[in-house]
Amino acid sequence: MTGWKPLPLAVACLVMLGSFALRGQVSPDVPYERLRDAAKEPRNWLTYSGTYFSQRYSLLDQVTPSNVKNLEQKWMYQAGVTGTWQATPLVVDGVMYVSQRPNDVVALDAKTGRVFWIHRYVPPADQKACCGANNRGLAILGDTLYMGTLDARLIAIHTKTGRRLWDVPVIDYQLSYSITHAPLVVKDKVIVGVGGGDLGVRGLIAAFDAKTGKELWRFNTIPAPGEPGHETWEPCPPESSTSLNDANYCDREAWKHGGGSIWLTGSYDPDVNLTYWGVGNVWPDYNNKQRPGDNLFAESVVALDADTGKLRWHFQFTPNGQYDFDAVQIAVLADMNWSGTSGKLMFWANRNGYFYVLDRTNGKFVQGQPFVKLNWASGLSPTGRPMQTPQPLGSITYPGVQGGTNWYSPSFSPRTGLFYVSVWEDYGTYYGVRVPVPYREGRSVSMGANQPYVPIPGAPTIPSIRRGPINNWTEVAGNGAIKALDVRTGQERWKFDTTDVSDSGIMTTASDLLVSGNREGYLQMLDARTGALLWTNNLGGQIVNAPITYMVDGKQYIATISGYALVSFALRD
């Protein structure tokens, strides 16, 4: 068990108590076949996005638009740590498993909230995870849970006892790598990627043997010489400079630290044996002059053979990016009759402001439409390539640096045919002068602009990834909304406006109920067909995860995280 670290005494005691707490209960057993057919057992929530298709749609229908007013809180678990809590829990046969900051795993009774055990993993103090000490969730196979850590390790934990089974490094964390997303289990493999794109890492996706932790394959999201896609890291032009003091600076080895991180969980289609992963921003984020070419596979989706890790196809949303438009959003899969396609489709609301439909068997562009105000491109070509229109210095670019949407999970309802997404509406950013950026291995680095977050006129505050004081908000700063898009046209069917922007994901059910949250701390239930508000409850803390639903002993529960509290609701008895 290479890399295993002994548990501190206090943590070992928690694990021991957990094993007693679960005595008498059947240890969860989740073979691959259950993961593959997860949609057939909606009482559970078996993957980060519910199923391999990542629709965040549940067949449960006990809670309906007509009785949702009878929801009441059933239990609450209060975390003992602080910071934004972005995790999505798993629920397996009445047991809930959830990660909490920085790398704890908690097992609870999904009916009562009683804690069975807590497994604590303490990353080293010198870990360099970009953008917060987040962990977004877990994966399960058999009787084992899997979690990535802030110091870029993959660990396996026994579901019943909470004991660590193995612990392996994915890559050297001291080079600014981390893992913040929930792993994806496919067959006998655990697949993870690494974060750190804003720190100049070179991204990767790797698969490990679920029983032993042995690495089985690795795919570099930024290709080296001789690998497909490297030709898009073009040579520096003759007139460029090698001096960082020259505005014409060009990095001759830009691909070696080209970004392309992975920080959200991929999707999987068992029929074609492809796993789909969104790839993060290119580095440096803003100075595209420093790295000529399209810069594959940054800001793209890649389709990999799940057995070998070989690239089958890719589609790049924002070539030669200069806006920090990560393409890590969730790939939502659906099977539909659609003329001219295989019927196997992928829906994608991208940070760049466009909603895309792709044929997921070959990556062919089917259609694309803007879903928020944008001006960085004038449209999409017949192949889906953006016709870029960079705005002059001093002009506002829409959408702003946080994008039209970001990492928060969307939902697709096969019943309504609508795609639901949390958006940042009418939100723009001034991008400053692009400046040369030196790469410093394992150290904090600039992203390539001297003033990337300058407020626009009339907006005294800038929407960011943190909740701000509402009295400073103005309409010019933009607002949040939930939008329902018709997947066949890309057109907006309805919109539910909120004052503050939102970081909450969305879940829908077979009773046409839509569940989401917002920064103001409200858990909200909408009619998925009309957008009408049906029920709301102020939980007090911002909701920055995506709600889930599950069933125990014949009762449907809806759970979310607000602030530092995990809360579960069900209909009044």
Task: Give the residue among 164, 212, 174 at the shortest CA–CA distance from 194.
Answer: 174
Name residue, tokens 């520096």: 236
Residue 158 CA: distances (Å) to CA of 6, 184, 332, 353 = 15, 17, 30, 41
Question: Tokens at residue 536, please?
Answer: 């709301």
Residue 324 appears among annotated catalytic residues? yes
Cα 383 to Cα 361: distance, rounded to the nearest angstrom:
16
Q: Are 560 and 545 in contact (CB under 8 A)?
A: yes
Cα 339 to Cα 411: distance, rounded to the nearest angstrom:
23
Question: Tokens at residue 141, please?
Answer: 């196979």
Task: Give the residue among 290, 294, 291, 293 at the shortest CA–CA distance from 249.
Answer: 290
DSSP string for residues in 192-206:
EE-B-GGGT-B-EEE
Helix (H, G, I), strand (E, B) or coil at 142: strand
Cα 114 to Cα 348: distance, rounded to the nearest angstrom:
38
What single-letter DSSP state applies at residue 32?
A: H
What is the phi/psi pair of residue 513, to 5°? -105, 135
Task: Give the residue among 233, 247, 240 at the shortest CA–CA distance from 292.
Answer: 233
Q: Name the helix (H) or strand (E) containing 18.
A: helix 9-21
- Out of 251, 324, 359, 500, pick the active-site residue: 324
Rounded to 5°, the CA angle 131-136-139 comes to: 145
Tell me the sheet residues that pair with 394: none
Return all residues near 168 (Cβ < 8 A) that are at least 6 apart. Answer: 2, 3, 153, 154, 155, 208, 213, 214, 215
Q: Are 241 and 187 in contact (CB under 8 A)?
A: no
Catalytic residues: 324
